[in-house]
């Protein structure tokens, strides 16, 4: 939980326009990572108890638990929110109806697929009133 709040604080303090902190959603997720190497029929996986995802809709970025790097939101539809890293090495999707997310990272012949079951934990809205 500390990591989630660290990420939320970093998102609030990051440089940007004055209204950059409005329209944020925070999720705590549990998940599983599956690793597969190209040319191999076997895969390994690990599970974890909690991870955080923070969506900042004003800056159109998704932050992970440490808040160190934000990935651009590429599309928002009625059913899903998708994001892609600038080098296209990471692609993610959050199903807005079931709150299930998935990320796929490809790097040096290894494909890592993260699947998350998320729950909403916070909504931050610091818009200035006229």
For residue 79, give its domain range: 2-14+24-122
129 lies in a domain? no
127 lies in a domain? no
Concatenate the DSSP letters of all residues of the chain into one string.
Answer: -HHHHHHHHHHHHSSS-TTTTSSEEEEEEEEEEEEEETT-S-EEEEEEEEEEEEEETTTTEEEETT-S-EEEEEEE-SSEEEEE-TTSSEEEEEETTT-EEEEEEEETTEEEEEEEEEEEEEEE--PPP-
What's the pLDDT score for residue 22?
Answer: 55
128 lies in a domain? no
What's the pLDDT score for residue 12?
Answer: 46
113 lies in a domain? yes
What's the pLDDT score for residue 62?
Answer: 93
pLDDT band (50, 70, 90) for residue 127: low
What's the pLDDT score for residue 72?
Answer: 95
Q: Could you tell me if 24 and 14 are in contact, meaning their C-beta atoms sit under 8 angstroms apart?
A: no
Q: Is the dihedral of CA 99, 71, 7, 15 positive or negative?
A: negative
87 lies in a domain? yes
Task: Give the domain CATH number at 67.
Answer: 2.40.160
Tell me the two tokens of residue 70.
């934000």
108 lies in a domain? yes
Q: Tally the domains of the chain.
A: 1
pLDDT band (50, 70, 90) for residue 50: confident
39 lies in a domain? yes
pTM, full prediction: 0.68
Given a cut of 50, whether residue 30 has pLDDT beyond it is: yes
130 lies in a domain? no
pLDDT tens for residues 69-123? 899 999 988 899 999 999 888 999 999 899 999 998 888 778 888 888 998 887 6
């Amino acid at each position: 939980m500390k990591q989630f709040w660290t990420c939320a604080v970093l998102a609030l303090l990051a440089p940007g326009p004055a209204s950059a902190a409005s329209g944020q959603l925070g999720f705590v997720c549990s998940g599983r990572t599956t690793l597969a190497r190209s040319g191999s029929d076997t895969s390994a996986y690990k599970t974890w108890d909690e991870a955080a995802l923070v969506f900042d809709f004003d800056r159109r970025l998704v932050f992970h638990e440490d808040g160190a790097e934000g990935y651009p939101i590429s599309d928002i539809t009625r059913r899903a929110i998708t994001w892609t890293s600038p080098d296209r090495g990471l692609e993610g999707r959050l199903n807005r109806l079931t709150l299930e997310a998935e990320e796929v990272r490809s790097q040096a012949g290894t494909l890592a697929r993260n699947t998350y079951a998320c729950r909403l934990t916070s909504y931050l809205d610091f818009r200035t009133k006229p």
